[in-house]
Amino acid sequence: MLHPYGVLLLEAPSAQSLAAAGHLCMVLADLVLIASALVLTFDVSIGQSLVKARMATAITLVAVQDLPLVVMSLGDAAHGGHSYRLTAGHLVTVVVLYGVFSVGARDQRPPRLNPMLGGLLLGLGVLAARLGLILTDPSPFLSVHRWQDQLVLAAIAVVTVLVALRLLRSALPAWAAQRIACGIFVIFAARVWATLTEATSPPPVAMAGVVLCSSLVATTAIGMLVSSLREHTTREASLVLRAAEAEATVQHDREVVHEMRAATAGIVAGVHLLASDQLPPGPRRLALKHMVDVEAARLGRTCTDDGPDQLAALAVDHVVEPLVIAQEALGHRVHWHPDGHRVLARHDTLAEVLNVLLTNAHRHAHGHATTISSRRVGEHVEIRVCDRGPGLEPGLEERLFQWGARGTGSTGQGIGLQRAHRLMLELGGSLHHDPAAATLGGATFVVTLRSADTDADLARTPHVRPAVPPEPSVPTALAAG
């Protein structure tokens, strides 16, 4: 903004050229103020800050009421003092500025009118008042030699201080309010200096104060915009995170409801059979009652959600048996024989995964029986669930374990397999579809877990049967038959 003075240093300076340079500096300073108001207006569109909107209005007002007088000074040296000396018109300016910051100061609603448009209208009004004073008094410059002018000068000083105090007490950031207040005092001091010295051309010292004020306003506006953009980015990231958390919570709840519905169906079918006395007293009735107790207990633990248990050595047959009985109670034929394998897993998690696979087989196999078997492969145990249904649709296998993945004719929700796959990864195991077995028809899913039996254990005991559970035991052969 001081570039015009720099150009003069390269040429022979004269009083006329110095005056022209000063006026050009004033023009540049006013243009910078308009640019600052534009930045603040954009800031307001982001954060809807009422105090920033009033700042933009005030800055636009100052530039609009001053810029035409500066341009007029460039064409007529007789009116040059209006751009840098204090006049009675400046009292109108500061009073209107104080009104901008004071009227409705407690109202925190977003601004309804474009801040720059409001500043333009107010600026034109103040400009009209100043031009009216110029027409009535050709030499309206204040002088310290007249007591009337001293009173006007004092009034301007008081209102200027009140404007600065209003800014310091506003909702602006402290650093921004302090910088703007400093800019106000600097430009007031610059104009007071030019008034006291009764300068006939723009004093370079006063012009430096004007430029400093515009620089403080511009850098403050840019700084507040950068701060608002950072806050907006942080707030947006926070909202995205909260939305992701909410979505994850909804998905988890839907997964739990999905499993509870599947488990409840088996329990209800079992209770119905027990209550209808269709099964006479004997091993099968005891097995059915045992299934209802085991599944009800698992369902209760699912509802409480106390967190996962530690990994433990589990007999696969103890986990599979109640599920097979529950499926049979639902009318789903399942071929299964105890194999005596043990794995490292969590009981409820493994039961939920196998229940998902059996329920899917029942839903999609169209009445065909399902086979569940286990075998040891190296240090792992594979549990295979096979059905003889239509198998997977072409192209479905690549997204089989994604949320919502399902076939075109499926009545499922695409939740169970996705949850089962994730639960197996949490156990340190895996769940996959065996495409090689699909050549025989149907679909085969393989659950792989680390074996709880070492090779030395197997060498000493060729066939390890699972330990008897604390609940009433049922012969597994009867349960499977």
What's the Cα-to-Cα distance from 472 to each of 286, 293, 469, 476, rounded to whole Å? Answer: 8, 10, 8, 12
Q: What is the reported pLDDT for 4?
A: 55
CA 410, CA 438: separation in Å to the nearest integer?
18
Cα angle: 113, vertex 116, 122; to 5 degrees: 85
Q: What angle do CA 92, 97, 101 make, to 5 degrees?
A: 150
- What pLDDT is attached to residue 408? 61
pTM summary value: 0.62
Alpha-carbon span 145 to 474, nearest angstrom: 115
Query: What torsion do the CA atoms of 236, 237, 239, 242 make, to the nearest 10 degrees?
Result: 180
- Residue 145 to residue 242: CA distance in whole angstroms: 68
Token digits for 412?
Answer: 């499922």
The predicted structure's pLDDT at residue 330: 83
The pLDDT profile of the chain, 481 residues, written as one tens digit per residue, is 555 555 555 555 655 666 777 778 888 888 999 999 999 999 888 888 888 889 999 999 999 988 888 887 766 655 667 777 888 888 999 999 999 888 765 656 666 778 899 999 999 999 998 888 878 876 677 887 888 888 989 999 999 999 999 988 888 889 999 999 999 999 999 888 888 888 777 788 888 888 899 999 999 999 999 999 998 889 899 999 998 888 878 877 777 777 777 778 778 887 887 777 776 677 777 887 888 888 888 777 777 766 666 788 999 999 999 888 888 888 888 899 998 899 999 888 898 899 889 988 888 777 788 999 999 998 999 999 998 877 777 767 777 777 766 666 565 667 788 888 888 998 899 999 888 876 667 888 999 999 988 654 544 444 433 333 334 333 343 343 3
Domains of the chain, each with CATH number or no CATH: 3-240 (no CATH), 279-480 (3.30.565.10)
Q: What is the DSSP letter of 271?
A: H
Which pLDDT tens digit goes with each residue over 378-428?
Answer: 899 999 999 887 777 776 777 777 776 666 656 566 778 888 888 899 889
What are the tens digits of pLDDT across the range 172-225? 889 999 999 999 999 999 888 888 888 777 788 888 888 899 999 999 999 999
Query: Is-contact 23 81, C-beta < 8 A?
Result: no
What pLDDT, on the 0 to 100 scale, is given for residue 471? 40
CB 479 within 8 A of CB 324: yes
DSSP track, 108-129: -SPPSS-HHHHHHHHHHHHHHH
Please tell me the predicted confidence (pLDDT) of residue 466. 39
Which pLDDT value is given to residue 467? 36
C-alpha span between 73 and 83 (Å, rounded): 7
| Under 8 Å between Cβ of 345 and 449 | yes
| pLDDT at residue number 157 | 92
Cross-strand bridge partners of residue 384 = 373, 446
pLDDT for res 446: 93
